[in-house]
Amino acid sequence: MSNVLSLFSAIKAFIFDIDGVMTDGNVHVLETGEHFRTFYIRDGYALEKAREANFQLCVITGGSHPGVKKRLENLKFQHIYFGLGGKDKLETYLELLPKLGVKENEILYMGDDMADLKVLSRPDILSTCPADAIPELHQVVKYVSPFNGGRGAVRDVIEKVLKLQGKWA
């Protein structure tokens, strides 16, 4: 773990998937047909702390639910890649990379499913996943959070970074 922890100390930007990472992956459907997802408040607290400490917050997701986008905007994410409509996440990541102005070893990416595999396989990023991510990702990532998606995995990685950098109050 000490080798992995040294990777956390270099991070300047966080990139997250939504469903299965920032949420538990469940989609609730109302009688009206409207969908909603549940976000974990402790993850939100860590995201606010990261933003206050001037980290870049980014999302790359295939989803396009307006309520989710509003949550991300309320959390003041600087980069939101939303509703990819089948577009490859790696292609989107490569578009985002120059906008971040950081090296790949300064990026932490957390994903949970096959759509994240190409990005998580990049050798220089700090690749992470929640405990309940698919087994294929557990074999590829550098760090598996002991917490599930939507239940503290996001807070886990942010807190590690901020504590190692002396920015967690």
Burial class (CB in 10 A: 0-12, 13-18, 19+), 58: buried
Task: Report CA-CA distances (Å) from 150 to 3, 43, 76, 104.
Answer: 26, 8, 18, 25
The answer to whether residues 17 and 61 touch, using CB atoms and an 8 Å cutoff, is: yes
Determine how many CB atoms are found less than 10 A away from the CB of residue 48: 15
136/156 Cα distance (integer angstroms): 21
Q: Could you tell me which residues are annotated as the binding site for Mg(2+)?
A: 17, 112
The Cα angle at residue 144 between residues 156 and 10, in degrees rounded to 5:
65
Q: Could you tell me which residues are annotated as the binding site for substrate?
A: 19
Q: Could you tell me which residues are annotated as the binding site?
A: 17, 19, 112
The torsion angles phi and psi of 102, rounded to 5 degrees, stand at: -130, 165
Radius of gyration of the chain (CA): 15
